[in-house]
Amino acid sequence: MAERKTATKAAEKGFTAEEKAAMKARARELKEKTDGETAVREAIAKMAPADRALAKDVDKLIRATAPELMPKTWYGMPAYAKDGKVVCYFRDAGKFKERYSMFGFNETAKLDDGAMWPVAYALTKLTPADEKTLAALVKKAVG
C-alpha cells in the first residue's frame, strides 16, 4: 500500500523539471523555424560528454544509413523525420536523469511485425554489432 501512496503523491506534484523543459523545447520547435541540422547539432552540444559522444555516433549512423531522413529536434531531442513526421529519435540519459540513453521509433516507423514489436532500445555504447543492428532497423523503419 505504501508504494501506491508514493505513486499518488508523485502524480499530484505534476510534471518534473525535466518534463517541463521538454515541453518548452517542443513549443519552441513549433514556434521557431530553425533548420534541422543546426537544431540537432545544438541539442547534441548541450549533452553531457558521454551522451554527446553516443549521440554523435548515432547521428552519423542514421545519416549514412537513411540520408532521406531529415534531421530535426523533437522535444529537444535529436530526431529524424520523413515527410515531416518523426521516424526515430535519440534521447540522452541526462534528459530525464536515466541510467541509459535510448534510441526509439515513432509509429510512422515501418517496424510492425505481428502483434508485438520493440520500439525503443537502451543504449550505453555502440559496438560494431549494435551499429549493424541499428542500421538494419532504421532501413526497415524508413521502408
For CA atoms 22, 24, 27, 32, the dihedral sign is negative
Per-residue model confidence as pLDDT tens digits over 6-22:
554 555 678 888 777 76
2 has a pLDDT exceeding 60 = no
Q: How does DSSP classify residue 95?
A: G
Write down the pLDDT at residue 29: 64
Q: Judge whether 92 and 80 are in contact, CB under 8 Å.
A: no
Is residue 43 within 8 A of residue 77, CB to CB? The reply is yes
Give the mean model confidence (pLDDT) for residues 114-122. Answer: 93
pLDDT tens for 52-70 read 999 999 999 999 999 999 9
Q: How far apart are CA 69 and CA 23, in angstroms?
A: 23
Can you name the residues that pair with 123 across neighbouring β-strands? Answer: 101
For residue 103, the tally of other CB atoms under 10 A from its CB is 22
